[in-house]
Amino acid sequence: MAEGATAWQDIIADDLVEVSRIMREATRDSNPELQEVLDYALDSPGKLVRPSMILLVCKACGAVDDRDVLNYAASAELVHMATLIHDDINDESEYRRGKMATYRKYGVKKALTTGDTMLVKAMALFDSNPELLRSIIAMGSSLADSEFLQYNHKYNLDISEEEYYQVISGKTAAFLSECARTGAIASKASDDVKKEMARFGQLYGMAFQIADDLIDLIGTEKISGKTPMRDLSEGVITLPTILAIRDVKIGNKIRTKIKKGSSLDEIRELILQTEAVDDCKLIIQDYVDEAMDSLKVLPDSKYRDSLMEMTRLNLTRLN
At 65-90, the pLDDT tens digits run: 778 899 999 999 999 999 999 989 98
pLDDT of residue 145: 78
SS3 label, residue 275:
coil
pLDDT of residue 1: 39
Taking 60 as the threshold, does the pLDDT of residue 225 lie above it? no
pLDDT of residue 165: 96
Taking 50 as the threshold, does the pLDDT of residue 98 lie above it? yes
Q: How far apart are CA 110 and CA 309, in angstroms?
A: 39
Taking 80 as the threshold, does the pLDDT of residue 7 lie above it? yes
- Specify the range with the lowest mean pLDDT, choosing from 109-123, 131-145, 185-199, 258-272: 131-145
Instruction: Find the mean pLDDT for residues 85-107.
Output: 89
- Specify the range with the lowest mean pLDDT, choosing from 18-22, 89-93, 118-122: 89-93
Confidence of residue 4 (pLDDT cuts 50, 70, 90): very low
High-pLDDT (> 90) share of the chain, %: 72
- Of 227, 61, 220, 82, whose CA–CA distance to 140 is shortest? 82
Taking 80 as the threshold, does the pLDDT of residue 131 lie above it? no
pLDDT of residue 17: 95
Mean pLDDT of the chain: 90
High-pLDDT (> 70) share of the chain, %: 94
Q: How far apart are CA 88 and CA 294, in angstroms?
A: 33
Nearest-10 crossing angle of helices 32-42, 67-91: 100
- Of 231, 193, 181, whose CA–CA distance to 209 is shortest? 231
The per-residue DSSP string of 95-159 comes to EETTEE-HHHHH-HHHHHHHHHHHHHHHHHTTTT-HHHHHHHHHHHHHHHHHHHHHHHTTT-TT-
Instruction: Find the mean pLDDT for residues 105-128.
Output: 90
CB 103 within 8 A of CB 109: no
Q: pLDDT tens for residues 23-63?
A: 999 999 999 999 999 999 999 888 899 999 999 999 999 98
Q: pLDDT tens for residues 230-279?
A: 899 989 999 999 999 999 999 999 999 999 999 999 999 999 999 999 99
Contacts 24+ apart (CB under 8 A), 248-257: 249/274, 250/274, 255/157
pLDDT of residue 224: 54
Separation of CA 209 from chain center: 7
CB 112 within 8 A of CB 141: no
More confident position, 300 or 226: 300
Q: What are phi and psi of 85, to 5 degrees?
A: -60, -45
Close Cβ partners of 63 (under 8 Å, ≥ 6 residues apart): 69, 186, 187, 188
Classify 41 in phi/psi space as left (phi over 0), alpha (psi -120 to 50) or beta. Answer: alpha
CB 171 within 8 A of CB 146: yes
Instruction: Find the mean pLDDT for residues 147-164.
Output: 89
pLDDT of residue 147: 79
Q: What are phi and psi of 225, to 5 degrees?
A: 80, 5
* 7-316 maps to CATH 3.30.465.10: no
